[in-house]
């Protein structure tokens, strides 16, 4: 497959056209709007591919086609639904500031939130009625997204727990294939999740990255090592 022109550049990835109109190439960068950490893009690429392969095996459709090189992955072209879907198991971050729960409070059941992806509006939190008013997706599509988000959480939580890591919360994005099928898109990496060490509570994720970007790649690599040590890959 031939890599063609750059279609889109985000903070973490560049997306290229290919000679197949249905396929794109996502290339992970070493920076995320912050200082570059050499190797971080390659590690995040591998982590996301591993997790999406596992989710596919568990019946969640994703945009993943195949890893192409250390930092590049072939993905299906989708229409991205402009929602950040956040699933939470433990109170942290904006949940604490919004509703006053102390950080670390284990939630009675997982909490799902939607944020409207709009740079101009600062990605506001919305509910399903706002999403329908804005015609971001149909009610049927949103119920598929909800079901997938809870299921993904139910798959990732015990998997990561087996690696000694607690999944605190996670951001998911979904897309629509030309035939209307909803698939998991974007990435699942320690940059889009909160991951705390299950024993010590040490923060292993993006919160850590913000304070200590030099450690970012080490932590992702440690998770990757833990992931690939089992019979996982
Ligand atoms: P929050 O507590 O800041 O709302 O974040 C919840 C989770 O979603 C956390 O794991 C970080 C992730 N997230 C992203 O990956 N990208 C984003 O733009 C936002 C707002 C959150």
Q: Which residues of the chain have pLDDT under 70?
A: 206-220, 222, 226, 228-233
Q: pLDDT value at position 160?
A: 92
Q: pLDDT value at position 214?
A: 60
Q: pLDDT value at position 152?
A: 98
Q: pLDDT value at position 35?
A: 78
Q: pLDDT value at position 206?
A: 64
Distance 192 CA to ligand 1 centre (A): 6
CA distances from 51 to 55, 84, 122, 204 (A): 6, 18, 29, 17
Per-domain boundaries in the chain? 3-76, 79-215
Q: pLDDT value at position 224?
A: 75
Q: pLDDT value at position 231?
A: 40
Look up the CATH superfamily of 79-215: ATP-grasp fold, B domain (3.30.470.20)
Of all protein residues, whose CA lies closest to atom 21 belonging to ligand 1?
171
In three-state secondary structure terms, 228 is: helix
Architecture category of domain 3-76 in CATH: 2-Layer Sandwich (3.30)
Q: pLDDT value at position 219?
A: 63
- Of all atoms in ligand 1, which is nearest to the CA of residue 86? 8
The residue whose CB lies within 8 Å of the most ligand 1 atoms, and thus the one to mutate among 48, 89, 171, is 171
């Amino acid at each position: 497959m031939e890599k063609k022109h750059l279609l889109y550049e985000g903070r973490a990835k560049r997306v290229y056209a290919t000679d197949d109109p249905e396929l794109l190439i996502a290339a992970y960068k070493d920076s995320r709007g912050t200082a570059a950490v050499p190797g971080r893009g390659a590690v995040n690429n591998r982590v996301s591919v591993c997790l999406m392969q596992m989710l596919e095996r568990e019946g969640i459709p994703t945009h993943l086609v195949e890893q192409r090189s250390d930092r590049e992955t072939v993905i299906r072209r989708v229409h991205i639904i402009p929602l950040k879907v956040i699933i939470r198991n433990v109170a942290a971050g904006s949940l604490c500031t919004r509703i006053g729960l102390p950080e670390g409070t284990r939630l009675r059941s997982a909490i799902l939130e939607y944020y409207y992806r709009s740079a101009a509006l600062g990605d506001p939190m919305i509910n399903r009625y706002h999403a329908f008013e804005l015609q971001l997706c149909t009610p049927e599509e949103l119920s598929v997204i909800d079901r997938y988000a809870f299921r993904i959480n139910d798959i990732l939580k015990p998997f990561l727990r087996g690696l000694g890591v607690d999944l605190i919360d996670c951001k998911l994005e979904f897309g629509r294939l030309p035939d209307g099928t909803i698939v998991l898109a974007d990435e699942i990496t320690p940059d889009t999740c909160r991951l705390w060490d299950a024993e010590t509570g040490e923060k292993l994720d993006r919160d850590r990255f913000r304070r200590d970007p030099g450690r970012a790649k080490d932590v992702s690599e440690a998770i990757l090592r833990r992931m690939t040590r089992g019979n996982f890959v």
